Structure formats: C-alpha cells, structure tokens
C-alpha cells in the first residue's frame, strides 16, 4: 500500500491558498498525529477538492495551513445514492454512516420508522446528528474521498415520504417478507433514494405506504441480513448491477 499523508478537513480556503483548521481537526493534527510547523499533509474541502498542504503556524490550538497544489483523491461513484436509513438500536447507526460514506454514498437521510424504537426528539436530545457528521468526516478521510456527503437531520419516515421529491426510489425488503425485485431487473438511474428498514423490518402500513407511493421493493439475496449490514450489501449490489462504482 503506498503511504498516504494524513488528511484533514478544511472547508474554507482563502484566495491566497491559506486556511485555519477547525478545533477538532487541529486537535487531531497536534495531539493525535503530533505534527507541527512544516508538516506536509493533505486537506480536502468536502466538495471534491483534495490538496497537498503545509502547516504554516501552530498557535495554541489554532493551526494555519497553506495549500501547495492538487493531490489525488478517490473518485466519486457514478450512481448518486442517497441512503434513507432507518435509525437502528444503540450505536449501530454509527456503523451505517461510516460504511455508507466508505461505499461512496451521496447523502444520508436518517428516518425514524415504526420499529426504530427511538423518536426524532430523543435523537435531538442525544446530539446524534452532530455525532453522525463527525463519523462521516472520519470515514471520508479513511476511504480517500474529497467529497463529504451531507447527513441530514432525522425525520419521521412518514414526514420524509410526504415531502420527498420525484427522484427515483427503491425500498429494500427482506426475503422473509416476500421479497422484491432483483436490482438487475430494474432500470438504471443516475440517482436513487435507497430506503432501508430497521431491526424487525417494515410494519405493514409502511410497506403499504411505499406501494402507494409507487416505490419498487427490491431484495438482495435469500438470507436474512442484519439491519446494520443491509445498507452496505445493498449499495454494493446496486453499484455492481448498475456499473455505478
């Protein structure tokens, strides 16, 4: 494996190529990586720009860097997948966010489904959105992307359904629940909202709502997937079926 420079998220870069790391990132640079003035790093702006940079100044917790030139980054996926992910129990949603970002998701919309066992209000009290966004930044660094996909504020599933646009959507169903079409049977689209259920699957009224909204049901394979593994498996199958890697 070729060695890679440590990567830091720097959304704002001045016209003269300078920027100041946010405190999380600065702490990571100075305390975790133990880097200081003169260190060569990579910075990414979260919108597709990846750059070689040099640490110009470290004053207490403030780290100023200077961009030197472009650096390579991992290509984005050819199919734009927005993961509409039912919130799972405990910390399992953390893994879903981490894995979806690694796979190349374009955005994540957490939704509270009937069997999610949590409310939108409880998620807000637990500052879960801020946590998921930090996890997304960490995963972007690990997988080499220069695009930071947005993690949107959680919504109740029915609210999301009532207000969603006209983008193509697919809902994953379990084989035990009767299954759905195979991905290869569906027409490829440039962008898709991929809706994935919680532990225990969809309630009957949710399945009915998807059908009423004209959203096709799909299945991947014939074994029962763990809820936290389903997004990773479904995205891999979708990218392969649609040549969207």
Please report, as ranges, the residues that interact with a copy of itself according to CB under 8 A. Answer: 1-2, 4, 74-75, 77, 99, 102-104, 142-145, 174-177, 182-184, 200-201, 220-226, 229, 232-234, 236-237, 239-241, 243, 245
What's the min distance (Å) between Cβ of 122 and a copy of itself?
23
76: three-class secondary structure by DSSP: coil
What's the min distance (Å) between Cβ of 110 and a copy of itself?
20
Question: Of the two residues 44 and 239, which places its CB atom closer to a copy of itself in the complex?
Answer: 239
* Alpha-carbon span 119 to 102, nearest angstrom: 27
Distance of CA 151 to the CA centre of its chain: 7
Question: Of the two residues 30 and 73, which places its CB atom closer to a copy of itself in the complex?
Answer: 73
Closest by alpha carbon to 197, among 168, 226, 220?
A: 226
| 128-143 vs 92-103: helix crossing angle, rounded to 10 | 40
What's the min distance (Å) between Cβ of 86 and a copy of itself?
13
What's the min distance (Å) between Cβ of 59 and a copy of itself?
33
What's the min distance (Å) between Cβ of 159 and a copy of itself?
24
Tokens of 242: 């649609």
Question: Of the two residues 47 and 127, which places its CB atom closer to a copy of itself in the complex?
Answer: 47
User: In the block, which residue shows the tokens 């003269």?
Assistant: 16
Question: Of the two residues 58 and 234, which places its CB atom closer to a copy of itself in the complex?
Answer: 234
* Alpha-carbon span 97 to 154, nearest angstrom: 13
What's the min distance (Å) between Cβ of 234 and a copy of itself?
8
Handedness of CA 70, 71, 77, 82 (dihedral sign): negative
Question: Of the two residues 168 and 233, which places its CB atom closer to a copy of itself in the complex?
Answer: 233
Order the strands of the 50-59 sheet from edge to edge: 7-9, 40-44, 50-59, 62-70, 18-20
Question: Of the two residues 23 and 142, which places its CB atom closer to a copy of itself in the complex?
Answer: 142
Tokens of 106: 């374009």
């Amino acid at each position: 494996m070729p060695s890679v420079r440590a990567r830091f998220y720097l959304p704002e870069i001045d016209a003269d190529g300078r920027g100041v790391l946010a405190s999380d990132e600065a702490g990571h640079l100075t305390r975790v990586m133990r880097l200081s003035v003169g260190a060569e790093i990579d910075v990414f702006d979260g919108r597709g720009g990846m750059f070689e940079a040099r640490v110009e100044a470290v004053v207490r917790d403030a780290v100023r860097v200077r961009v030197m030139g472009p650096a390579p980054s991992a290509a984005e996926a050819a199919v734009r997948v927005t993961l509409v992910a039912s919130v799972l129990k405990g910390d399992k949603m953390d893994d879903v966010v981490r894995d979806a970002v690694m796979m190349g998701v374009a955005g994540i919309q957490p939704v509270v489904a009937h069997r999610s066992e949590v409310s939108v209000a409880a998620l807000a009290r637990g500052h879960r959105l801020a946590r998921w966004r930090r996890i997304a930044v960490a995963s972007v660094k690990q997988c080499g992307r220069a695009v930071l996909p947005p993690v949107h504020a959680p919504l109740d599933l029915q609210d999301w359904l009532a207000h969603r646009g006209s983008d193509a959507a697919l809902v994953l169903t379990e084989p035990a629940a009767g299954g759905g079409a195979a991905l290869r049977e569906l027409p490829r689209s440039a962008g898709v909202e991929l809706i994935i259920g919680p532990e225990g699957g969809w309630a009957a009224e949710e399945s009915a709502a998807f059908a009423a909204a004209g959203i096709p049901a799909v299945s991947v394979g014939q074994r029962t997937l763990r809820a936290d593994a389903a997004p990773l498996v479904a995205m891999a199958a979708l990218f392969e079926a649609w040549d969207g890697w």
